[in-house]
Structure 1
Amino acid sequence: MSEQKNKQLKIIFLSSEGAGHINACVGLAQELAKCGHEIYFFNKPSNIGQFEKLGFKEIILHENAVVDDTDDAKKQVKTDNKDDDDQGKLRETIIKSNLLADLSPYDQLDVFDRHKNKNFFGFSMINDIRKVHEQIRQSLSEQKPDLVIVDYILIPPCIAYGQIPWAYLCSHNPLHLFNSQLLPPITSGLPTDNRSGWADFYDKFRKTYQSSLQYCQNELNKHYQCPEVNKNQFLFLSPHFNIYGYPEQLDYTDIITLPENVVRLDGFCRQQSTTTTDDNDNKTFELPENIKTRLSDTVKLIYFSLGTFGSTNVTLMQKILNELAGCPHQIIVSTGQSHQQLSLSENMYGQSYLPQMSILPLVDLVITHGGNNTVTETMSYGKPMIVMPLFADQHDNAQRIMEKGFGYRINPHRFESNQLIQLIQQIFSDKIMIERCTNAGNLIRKSNSKWKACKKIEKLLNNNKE
């Protein structure tokens, strides 16, 4: 108990737009707050209150602000009050980028090539950061936090090269963080025990995704007269420490050894479902009566979600739903914003937004796109998975889940008729897999890994001051 009475720290989070990133930051922020620390979030005017309702303080960044430097005594921020729907912009970028199309992980690297894709997300990130960079710098100067935690692929130079300790929070598969030649290439979905294909993927990855991301970071750095980033590194990592959430049962620590300044936890699992879109996500979930009455020892409950972006591919969603219509089990469907365009069968119940953290304890199986939050949250409740990866680290998560025996991987675009239903039945008949998942969930929930991570963060900050 004496450890929890350490000096209260002031910690500011900067999160990318997108429910996955925000939920990861919120999950860690909740635990840090429980440890007695003061938590702030940088936020946009269009989302005012989303962090306050969770008990955190907000620092509002006006996207189109211009700083008037003529008054040195008091710099005033002016804005044209045009608050963009950032989640909508990101969704539109994903759709335009062709990431949701039927492409192999290798071919998807072209989407992450700034030379081939004029809509490469890094370009808009440069503009977004430049719009708020001076406000971030001023806020850090005024607030004087003890730590800044960033879940953003590009790092604002005022944070990266400032005087305040900062940490990169990796809400992706940790291959993004490790950058080790002992492990498969990032976003490849290649196995860890077979190096066939590694070399070709690594070569293209460096020439496309890695090169393009470094270009964008260096464009920011040059604009603010800061040095270029290390060309051998994919992400711009903190020299202080970095944080990631991934269950020990899935992690790659059976292959590599983590540096001392890496903070690992089993998952960022927030205490209640939080998104940027609907307050209903914070409510508990009541299983519909017509679904509940059909459940039995032989009729199970399945949760299906392709995530915020995957659900925008209506054709793909309907293809999977049509296949699941022939399933003898009951299915809860997260339909996303395309709810009105989808047709659900009698064995299904669906809503645009569902409180995932309330649903997971109720189900017997999860069919997912393999986003990092969904994977870690599902693991924490001990449920097997069928992963239908669409892009990026979803391929890596799908492969790791299959390798470690917690589920199966299937191509969402190319599965054959009845293949998905056969996998479902195979899992429900696999008592060893179900027991493995249950045991893993019990261990994760008992591990207290978030609290341990907070204690390590406190220790690393103290060491940094010394």
Structure 2
Amino acid sequence: MTPKTFAFFPEAAFGPALNSVGIAQAVERMGHKAVFLSDPGFVDVYKGYGFEAHAVNLSAPMPPEQMAKFWEDFINGHIPNFRKAPIDQLDNYVKECWEAIVDSAKWAEKDLPSVLAAIKPDVISVDNVILFPAIKQYGKPWVRIISCSENEIEDDAIPPHLSGMSETDTAGHAAFRAKFHEVIKPIHDDYNEFLKTTGEDPYPLGQFFEPSPFMNLLLYPEQVKYHRPEPLNPAQFQYLEGCVRQDAPYEVPTFKANTDGPLLYISFGSLGAGDTDLLKRLITLIGTTRYRALVNVGDYKDQYADLPDNVLIDSWYPQPSVIPQVDAVIHHGGNNSFTECLYFGKPAIIMSYVWDGHDNAMRVQETGHGFRSDRYEWTDEELIAKIEACLTDADMAAKLATTSAHMQSQNGQEKAAKILVGLTE
């Protein structure tokens, strides 16, 4: 077997990045080489896992620490918008995100041809929500990875991406799509003008990417998939059943109080950690209960003082090693947190604030694997009731056990690696 080179180009966020790391590890276990194309701010993440990584500017060049601060400030500046319903985030947070995403595609086109020429990949995998024309035009198979909610692959019969709506709310679906198209049109027109300069055909309104003709990999497991009238063609779409990566072992520290109490894990991701008021409210509440809690506070550890004896905080946790040891999770609905809870059979309460978190929150509740919760409009009694249900609901526990057993039997990383290698044969 002649070793092949597989390039991965995830979005500059830890969810897509770490999912691609897991697949890349499986590719290398098969005797091939995995390399990363990366926003400059994430190059060291991939190098930390032992991979070769090549910077691709997705914005005006700036030092990595300045780039990290840019996105942190972007999210923190939108905290007031996190109180809004998903449809009411379209003309603020979502609009500004798409403006930045389109700009990133324009910047990437400057670097990608030379980087690809240097790497000479045999297959390129892209985990993003927008087309990078140079990848499509490189002349080798390219794969689209959908690590967000599976409704990123649209179907008029299921809730629109980012809407957080129930499958049955068809009137809501129509209203959301109409407003999304209204808000996005100027940005979409600009993107189509850019596509024209690269020789690509324009996309229909609202579409910024297309399914790959070679293969598309979706993280969603069978038990939470949407009910599509026409299932996605398995020759072109494959589900990875969570594709959970391995991480460093973790030993739960000894708490000063409630040493035998149920253990919770609370995390809103690296960017959501800036919502310190909400995390402090949760910590204060947990301090009055019989539970213990591990809380991910990101880069804001110095803002916390006088913690309850049944709460421990840290700037980062190896989630795939932590979640198996806890009894329930409160998180933001990011797709890694969403799938890791399902993979390990742990009930979740999702307090979403942006993007696919809204869709994942609705799916966890509609499929009986946990609860969605308003991010701010909840009482202590309401949240405690949800936590107690997560700990005691026998039907939910049985459903989670079935889903976990299914996902763990599938080995999504190895499945993905075999699919990618198969494209070179």
Asked if TM exceeds 0.5, the reply is yes
- Which residue of 331, 341, 351 corresponds with 2:303? 341
Residues 125-134 or 263-272, more deviating: 125-134
How far 1:21 moved relative to its partner? Answer: 1.8
Tell me which amino acid in the other structure corresponds to 1:18: A
Instruction: Give the 3-state SS of the residue equivalent to 2:84 in structure 1.
Output: coil
Distance 2:418 2:365 in 1: 32
- Which residue of 238, 255, 258 corresponds with 1:294? 258
- What is the match of residue 362 of structure 2? 399
Identity score, percent: 26
- Which residue of 205, 209, 216 corresponds with 1:235? 209
Q: Does 1:133 align with 2:109?
A: yes
Distance 1:213 1:323 in 2: 43
Unmatched segments (≥5 aa) in structure 2: none
- What is the match of residue 265 of structure 1? 240
Instruction: Give the 3-state SS of the residue equivalent to 2:380 in structure 1.
Output: coil
Q: Residues 392 and 127 of structure 1: is their aligned pair in 2 closer, same or farther, counting only changes over 3 Å?
A: closer
How far 1:35 moved relative to its partner? Answer: 2.4
Contact 2:242 2:339 in 1 (8 A): yes
- Which residue of 12, 16, 19 corresponds with 1:21? 16
Contact 1:122 1:216 in 2 (8 A): no
Instruction: Give the 3-state SS of the residue equivalent to 1:436 in structure 2.
Output: helix
Contact 1:110 1:208 in 2 (8 A): yes
- Which residue of 248, 268, 277 corresponds with 1:306? 268
- What is the match of residue 249 of structure 1? 223
Q: TM-score, normalized by length of structure 1?
A: 0.83
Q: Does 1:52 align with 2:47?
A: yes
Q: Deviations over 1:294-351 (max 9, x none)?
A: 343xx21110111122210122222222232222111111111222223532211111
- What is the match of residue 429 of structure 1? 392
Distance 2:420 2:73 in 1: 36
Q: Residues 307 and 63 of structure 1: is their aligned pair in 2 closer, same or farther, counting only changes over 3 Å?
A: closer
- What is the match of residue 319 of structure 2? 356
Contact 1:112 1:212 in 2 (8 A): no
Tell me which amino acid in the other structure corresponds to 1:300: P
- Which residue of 146, 154, 160 corresponds with 2:122? 146
Q: Does 1:104 align with 2:85?
A: yes
Q: Does 1:285 align with 2:250?
A: yes
Contact 2:333 2:358 in 1 (8 A): yes
Unmatched segments (≥5 aa) in structure 1: 66-79, 115-119, 273-282
Contact 1:156 1:220 in 2 (8 A): no
Q: Does 1:182 align with 2:157?
A: yes
- What is the match of residue 74 of structure 1? none
Distance 1:174 1:453 in 2: 16
Tell me which amino acid in the other structure corresponds to 2:266: F
Distance 1:203 1:45 in 2: 36
Distance 1:113 1:390 in 2: 11
How far 1:144 moved relative to its partner? Answer: 2.5
Contact 1:384 1:427 in 2 (8 A): yes
How far 1:225 moved relative to its partner? Answer: 4.6
Contact 2:81 2:93 in 1 (8 A): no
RMSD, matched Cα: 2.6
How far 1:44 moved relative to its partner? Answer: 5.0
Distance 2:237 2:383 in 1: 38
- What is the match of residue 366 of structure 1? 329
Distance 2:79 2:253 in 1: 36
Q: TM-score, normalized by length of structure 2?
A: 0.90
- What is the match of residue 207 of structure 1? 182
Distance 1:64 1:113 in 2: 18
How far 1:232 moved relative to its partner? Answer: 6.0
Instruction: Give the 3-state SS of the residue equivalent to 1:101 in structure 2.
Output: helix
Q: Does 1:40 align with 2:35?
A: yes
Distance 1:121 1:190 in 2: 20
